[in-house]
Amino acid sequence: MPCDTFTPTSKVGEVALMNACMSAPVSLDDRAVYMRPLPDGLEPLASGRGRTLFTEALLAGTMEGYFRLAQQFHTQADPAFCGLGSLVCALNALGIQPMRRWKGIWRWFSEELLDCCKSLEDVRRVGLTLDEVACLARCSAVSVTVQRASPANGDVIRTHLHEAATRSDGPVLVANYSRRAVGQTGDGHFSPIGGFHAGTDQVLVLDTARFKYPPHWMPVDLLFRAMQERDPVTAQPRGWLLLRSPDPTATGEISGGPGSLS
């Protein structure tokens, strides 16, 4: 009796259905992939070592930005939605109120609301560039600093990482980097950064593609080199976004240090 076609009419029937479903053969699609192992040198957050790094960073005060991101942490809804998924985490963590209804009576950021700069179908087909994610953030009334990674602004990334990691009311940093350059599969990717461990000079990458890689620790120098890889769509280096809650007195202009875009 196929377990997906039988409707039980009694408790005995429910038990029979449960037993039938448990004993039914499961067909595994061998063309589909369930996660991938992290490359050597990237420590999963949930491992013993990963948890030790988290505890040490927490005690050192460099995980202050983690908790609001963690409570809004979100798995991207499509393999190409890393930019959208990272932005959803950041916007909700910053407490930005969307001016559009999500579902029911609720206003809440989800990926389907982030379509002001590029259609969701186009994002699903080709993804997003750094400028396009910045455009989506601006549409949501966030203060945006855009930085393209280069050897000239290596000190800027550390300043921004420190600010995002040490302030519970500070900005959210979203990294745009090449997965290939850090030993992972794929290429261009976006992820929020959840904290910093000064002793080992590593950041906590909150990978929104949780179906592929778990949150993990990554050396800052490795991440920064991966940010300098060029996006084939724009022929420009990748980089990062620093997103802040809007300042009521601000004019809406984008500010930034060396390498920033206006």
Q: Rounded to 5 degrees, what are φ and ψ at 134?
A: -60, -40
What one-character DSSP code corresponds to residue 106?
A: B
The b-or-e profile of 2-39 (16+ CB within 10 A means b, else e) is eeeeeeeeeeeeeeebeeeeeeeeeeeeeeeeeeeebe
Torsion of CA 55, 59, 63, 65, to 10 degrees: 140
Active site residues: 82, 189, 207
Mapped onto helix, strand or coil, the DSSP state of residue 136 is helix
